Structure 1
Amino acid sequence: MSSVTPVHLGFLVFPGFPMAALTSAIEPLRAANEIAGKTAFSWTVIGEEDGPLNASANVVFQPDQILDDAEGLDYIFLLSSPQGGFENPRKGNGRLRHLVRHGSAIGAVSGGIFPLAASGLMDDRLTSTHWCYKAAFQTEFPELECSDDVLVIDRGRYTASGAAAMFDMMLKLIDEQLGSSVMTEVACWFQHPLVRAEGVQQSVPAFKTDGLAQDTPRPIARAITLFSENLENPLPIGDVAAEVGVSVRQLERGFRQVLNQSPLQYYRTLRMNAARQMVIYSRDSLTEIAQSVGYVSSSTLARHYREAFGVTPNEERRRANRFRVEDNRPLPSV
């Protein structure tokens, strides 16, 4: 199953990249080499230009080489915060296209999908998008199709929603290269209890509760899905109740039992969380953000936003921008 030449992976890191995603990629590969007793995988950490950069925990990190010097990569993965991107987009994106033309598979983890999508190399491809970035990503790249799966592989494009999903992606590569026994031992080394493949959806918090959305009763879970899919044009609660096969009163009772709030309150929470993603991670105006989550005016959005988060959208955006400039801290990094 193994090849004579090691599979070589490049990890292109941008300022603010999530360190957990990098270690979740490299550590299983290191373990696979050790278990197999040979160098089946090699890797290089790449920067756009020479010099150190700050990772998500404000740790200074020195890449091994610059992107211009990267050659012979079997895979290249982009690691970034959602705000990450090339200082010189024309040169950087051209270099990525060069690598792909010469046989490199390309992918991204967590916020790295933003610069990868901006390169044009995800056009007509499905991408795994972390739930906390999804609204912002769809706003910036409305032509691209997002998936809630933890990882997606689509015709030479490898995307993972977050650090744990990146570990799963590496397990898949280990399985292909060294077989299932080595892959399983790697998973056990790191006490990785569940090996997730394509088609497994992300776990998404049911806001205001300690449970997860898949743990809720079927009518409530279905209502949550309808709410999530209809943020821009909110549905009447009566229509949602009819769609999930219960009365409005039953839906109200179910939401209060499971989520300790009404369906309307929960719906607003979803809309506020989507708005917050766009406030922090996009450059859209407040009017555009308001319209995208079903508000006619930005003033109504701002009032509800303040009730939900204790700050106005403008205050939140100024604070996020200050962190990026002063501390290089993406909010959040997963």
Structure 2
Amino acid sequence: MQKWSKHPAAAIKVAFVLFDQFSNMCLANCLEPMRAANTLAHQRVFDWSFLTLDGAAVHTSSGLPILPQGQLKDLEFVDYLFVLSSYQHHLHDDAKTRKALRNAAGQCKVMIGLDTAPWLMAAAELLEGRRATIHWDVLESFAEKFLSVDSVRHRVVKDGNRITCAGAMASFDLTRQIIQSHLGNSMVLDIDALMLRDDPFPALQNTQSQRAGTPLQRALAVMQNNIERPLTLSQITQKIACPPKTLERQFKAQLGASPGQAYRHIRLSVARQLVESTSLTMAEIALRCGYESQSALSRAFKRRFSASPSQIAQLGRAAIAQSHDKFF
């Protein structure tokens, strides 16, 4: 059964090793969900650093210069090492890169190859006898060159402590699943809302049955579209044409929470966002989030966040002031 929420004992260490002409979208689709998780958790759950092979600056494929924090040979042990190359990957495939990646593989729990980086990993013999994918533009040539790798046309492939990812959009799905494994389904539900994702809890692999949306996905979408006037479970199941018992089983099995618990979570997440980022009164926020009174919202808010709305608002103002002082 899935976990609704989890609380890591320590920060999850992440490193990105970047090769010149890498896709900025690939990096952003990994980094922004982690940043969002830190913001929503109000602590640094994911702690990341940027490296290059020699510590020198690199440029994205769109010309954006990136100054790393160090070189790959100085990598300290991390939970996840993301290797990212995109265009002109063949120019990076040399003895120096292969040796550096082989050494780095011993300094991480999981090594992840994004876009065309699986080519560099395979050249370093880090994918021997494993299933893997790569950006589909080079998949055919990848399969022809690395015969000991089981090459497949998938978005994301996991094999032991190696993960390969075919491109930018799949990078978001992969990172989202990593966040889910460490923080639970309640966190990714909030991230989906923050990133305006309209297909909550997608699978990594495409199938015909998934494209239509599962009852759980449809129910979550209905909940997110009915915040101010919450629906009953019966009304939700009528809208999505799913028996209540079936929906309850799916929520418990896939989210580790009941439909009611998930619905409250969604509404309270909206309430917190309004508390932190608007000047609305608590009475107005209560109304917008489907609570019959300000006191009802305050009680639910405090149970969820272990702080009153006014305390959260003060913390938000303090954070803004601190950020202003830092940059000005």
Q: TM-score, normalised by structure 2?
A: 0.57
Q: Which runs of 5+ in 1 are unaligned?
A: 203-213, 215-334
- Does the CA-based 8 Å contact 1:79-1:112 persist in structure 2? yes
Q: Which residue pairs with 1:43 in the alignment? A: 48
Q: Note closer, same or farther for the CA distance 1:101–1:60 as it changes in structure 2 (3 Å cut).
A: closer
Write the deviation string for residues 118-174 of structure 1: whole angstroms up to 9, x where unpaired. 111011111122322212222322332122221111100111111111111111111
Which one of 185, 191, 196 corresponds to residue 196 of structure 2?
Answer: 191
- Does the CA-based 8 Å contact 1:50-1:66 persist in structure 2? yes
Partner Cα distance (1:107, 1:88) in 2: 17
Q: Which residue pairs with 1:112 in the alignment? A: 117
- Does the CA-based 8 Å contact 2:134-2:165 persist in structure 1? yes
Q: Give the drift of 1:87.
A: 5.7
Write the deviation string for residues 257-313 of structure 1: whole angstroms up to 9, x where unpaired. xxxxxxxxxxxxxxxxxxxxxxxxxxxxxxxxxxxxxxxxxxxxxxxxxxxxxxxxx
**Equivalent position SS for 1:49:** coil
Which one of 145, 150, 162 corresponds to residue 157 of structure 1?
Answer: 162
Q: Give the drift of 1:91.
A: 4.2
Q: Which residue pairs with 1:125 in the alignment? A: 130
**Residues 1:59 and 2:64 are matched in the alignment:** yes
- Two-structure CA RMSD over aligned residues (Å): 2.4
Partner Cα distance (2:207, 2:139) in 1: 14
Q: Which runs of 5+ in 2 are unaligned?
A: 1-5, 212-328
Partner Cα distance (1:50, 1:85) in 2: 20
Q: Note closer, same or farther for the CA distance 1:192–1:147 as it changes in structure 2 (3 Å cut).
A: farther
**Equivalent position SS for 2:193:** helix
- Does the CA-based 8 Å contact 2:93-2:120 persist in structure 1? no
Which one of 162, 178, 182 corresponds to residue 187 of structure 2?
Answer: 182
Task: Decide which moves more: 126-135 or 149-158.
Answer: 126-135
Partner Cα distance (2:152, 2:174) in 1: 15
Q: TM-score, normalised by structure 1?
A: 0.56
Partner Cα distance (1:83, 1:140) in 2: 16
Which one of 48, 68, 75 corresponds to residue 70 of structure 1?
Answer: 75
Write the deviation string for residues 38-74 of structure 1: whole angstroms up to 9, x where unpaired. 1111111110012212211122221221101111211
Task: Decide which moves more: 80-89 or 137-146.
Answer: 80-89
**Residues 1:97 and 2:102 are matched in the alignment:** yes
Q: Which residue pairs with 1:167 in the alignment? A: 172
Q: Note closer, same or farther for the CA distance 1:19–1:201 as it changes in structure 2 (3 Å cut).
A: farther
- Does the CA-based 8 Å contact 1:150-1:201 persist in structure 2? no
Which one of 22, 26, 31 corresponds to residue 27 of structure 2?
Answer: 22
Write the deviation string for residues 57-113 of structure 1: whole angstroms up to 9, x where unpaired. 122221221101111211111111253268684444333333333443101111111
- Does the CA-based 8 Å contact 2:53-2:100 persist in structure 1? no
Which one of 129, 135, 141 corresponds to residue 140 of structure 2?
Answer: 135
